[in-house]
Structure 1
Amino acid sequence: MERIVFLDRGGISVPLRPPCFPHHWQEYPDTRPEQVVERLADATIAITDQVAITAEHLAELPNLRLIAVAATGVDHVDVDVCRHQGIAVTNVRNWSVSVPEHAFSLILALRRNLLAYHDVVQGGAWQRSEGYLVQVEPMPRSLSGAKLGIIGVGALGSAVAALGEAFGMEVLYAERKGAAEVRPDRTPFEEVLAQSDVLVLLCPLTEESRGMIGEAELKLMPRHAILVNCGRGGLLDEAALAKALEEGVIAGAGLDVLTQEPPRDGSPLLDLKQPNLIVTPHVAWISDRSLATLAEQVIGNVEGFVLGHPRNMVV
């Protein structure tokens, strides 16, 4: 009988149907690093949303056959060790309709300067105004006719592109940074930075993509440009971005992710109190519909592995 342990069930706030094969199920709201080995000691299948499963953990888990990641990114699982030990790894794909919506929420809030206008009303400036409006600098910018650069051309990137086109934006798909050749449907990485009025990061965190946006890359962007990161926090240098926002190198940024989550040790970005920066606590993926799709995929991935028709395999 398969023994399934969900290490951090608390992050998936929708019902999960039971797998269609004999099994023993154990779940925990969350799991600390030092509890991983104890809780997976007898497990044949581990499910993890964001709890890391490292090489040190895997060395003490000889019964483990499958790690089903309840997310798209698998950077918190030591995939190389899993491959070496014959442990399968699956993830969920094309499941979140809310990430593109959240990205555009950030884009619209920044381009329309909504935080500043909200403060105008909350602070009473509109009520005291002699005219019928209060205009705040910088002037809001339309999306129609603007260029939307996308780094990370997967399902989410394509969905963001579709929304951008609906607003009348021109979409540029970035080629990989440092690529020797540029594919026909892509634009060189540096050109995308230089041309984009809005730049959206949606790629996974890998050794290749880690720190891809730093001081030099930010200086390539137009001064009126905004940057939105709904991918992974490690894609950009937070100190460099904070400096760029303070000095007006770019006009604004919207982030749903930070390098350290939760940011218990702080972040240069969290110290900024200005309307051209919006930070949300890694919630772009959350919606009722998205979570229901994710939950079904997780169980389907587990069933597929056990019943001999694996799907969404990473390893």
Structure 2
Amino acid sequence: MLTVLEPEGLYPDTAIEQEILGPGVRIIRGHARSSIAELPDEMLAEVDGLMTLRMWVPAEQVARFPKLKVIVRMGVGYDRVDRAAAAARGITVCNIPDYGTQEVAEFAVLLALSLRRGLILYHDTQRGPDPAPWAVMQSPLHRRQEVQTFGILGLGRIGSAAALRAKAFGYRVVFYDPNQPNGWDRALGIQRVRSMDELLAQSDVLSIHCPLTRGTRGLIGERELRLLPRNAVVVNTARGPILDINALERCLRDGHLAGAGLDVIPEEPPAEPIPSLLRAYRAGEDWLRGRLVVTPHIAFHTPEAWQDIRVKSVETMRDVLVEGRRTNVIPPESD
């Protein structure tokens, strides 16, 4: 009999998992512990398949699973799994690329719209004992959508869905993604550019949708941010380490950027030393009011998305572990 471990105890029971995996698979669960390191060796000794959402799976923890064959990362990103350590053991790593697409795409566009139409600005400045005057405020944030270019970095499922939504709001949409085949832009009715610099130079809104890999870590630094048009807005719903948060602060402080929306930050949850941009945001410093939105990596969150995570994750585990298929397998060499 095969054994599948879901260490975080995300759902109230295992009825759906058992139905999909079948009677030849035993399911064991943890109790929402903070890390795999806290799980006992005797539990891990029997595990053939591991399903994890928030927990990291570093090399030293991979070594504690003597029978492990498949790791399913219950989400789109797979940077939490040490794929090199898994590959060295012949362990297959999978993700769930097609859940939460609508939610994250909508959230990215909503972040841009809420900044660009002043919703955040007026919300922030009308609060407190000394609110701003009951009147129009002049701000470089305010722009009509139809005169702006919405730039998308990474045109996968979520980036494509964001492109269609931004286009529906009137933005001119351009994208850069060297991994997408020619013709994808024509299918979506948007424009492809040949380099990231070309994308940045014309993006009044930059929306980040690429995965976190060795090649994309720190991809958007100060040089890249200063290639954006003055008073641009940056939105990140992908992974925090793709964007240099300290460079973002400098570009916001000196006025090169009008605003930013972050659903992800480099370290989650934030720990000391907390980046100075987040300290300023939490303190409600005047220079930042209305210009920054921070949410705790919840762009995906709807009840429907959580159900998709559950079902699609266990279906992927069944396909790969039980039936020997290659569903959602991440090649070891992809980065």
Within-5 A mapping of 1:239-278: 239-265=246-272, 266-273=274-281, 274=288, 275-278=290-293
Q: CA deviation at 1:149?
A: 0.4
Q: 1:57 to 1:168 in 2, by over 3 A?
A: same
Supply the distance in 1 between the matched residues of 2:167 and 2:326 (Cα, whole angstroms): 36
Note if 1:312 corresponds to 2:320. no
Supply the distance in 2 between the matched residues of 1:36 and 1:161 (Cα, whole angstroms): 42
Q: 1:41 to 1:158 in 2, by over 3 A?
A: same
More displaced 10-residue stretch of structure 1: 18-27 or 150-159: 18-27
1:34 matched residue in structure 2: 37
Q: 1:255 to 1:114 in 2, by over 3 A?
A: same
Supply the distance in 2 between the matched residues of 1:55 and 1:7 (Cα, whole angstroms): 17
Q: Which amino acid aligns with 1:228?
A: V
Supply the distance in 1 between the matched residues of 2:313 and 2:268 (Cα, whole angstroms): 23
Cα pair 1:73 1:205 within 8 Å, conserved: yes
Cα pair 1:98 1:287 within 8 Å, conserved: yes
Within-5 A mapping of 1:160-179: 160-176=162-178
Q: 1:63 to 1:190 in 2, by over 3 A?
A: same
Match of 2:105 among 94, 100, 124: 100
1:135 matched residue in structure 2: 136
TM-score (norm 2): 0.84
Match of 2:149 among 131, 147, 171: 147
Q: CA deviation at 1:47?
A: 0.7
Q: Which amino acid aligns with 2:8?
A: D
Within-5 A mapping of 1:13-162: 17=16, 18=18, 19-28=21-30, 29-36=32-39, 38=41, 39-96=43-100, 97-123=102-128, 134-138=135-139, 140-162=142-164
- What RMSD over aligned residues (CA atoms) do the two structures have, in Å? 2.3
1:280 matched residue in structure 2: 295
SS at the partner of 1:191? Answer: helix
Q: 1:216 to 1:289 in 2, by over 3 A?
A: same
Q: Which amino acid aligns with 1:138?
A: S
Q: Which 4+ residue blocks in structure 1 deviate beyond 4 angstroms?
A: 12-16, 123-126, 182-185
Supply the distance in 2 between the matched residues of 1:14 and 1:230 (Cα, whole angstroms): 30
SS at the partner of 2:246? Answer: helix
Q: 1:164 to 1:81 in 2, by over 3 A?
A: same
Where do 5+ consecutive residues of structure 2 fail to align? 186-191, 282-287
Identity %: 33
2:307 matched residue in structure 1: 292
Q: Which amino acid aligns with 2:75?
A: A
SS at the partner of 2:234? Answer: strand
1:228 matched residue in structure 2: 235
Q: CA deviation at 1:295?
A: 1.3
SS at the partner of 1:122? Answer: coil
Supply the distance in 1 between the matched residues of 2:57 and 2:39 (Cα, whole angstroms): 7
Q: CA deviation at 1:271?
A: 1.6
SS at the partner of 2:257? Answer: coil
- In the alignment of these two chains, the number of paired residues is 306
Where do 5+ consecutive residues of structure 1 fail to align? none
Cα pair 1:218 1:241 within 8 Å, conserved: yes
Cα pair 1:238 1:268 within 8 Å, conserved: no
Q: Which amino acid aligns with 2:139?
A: P
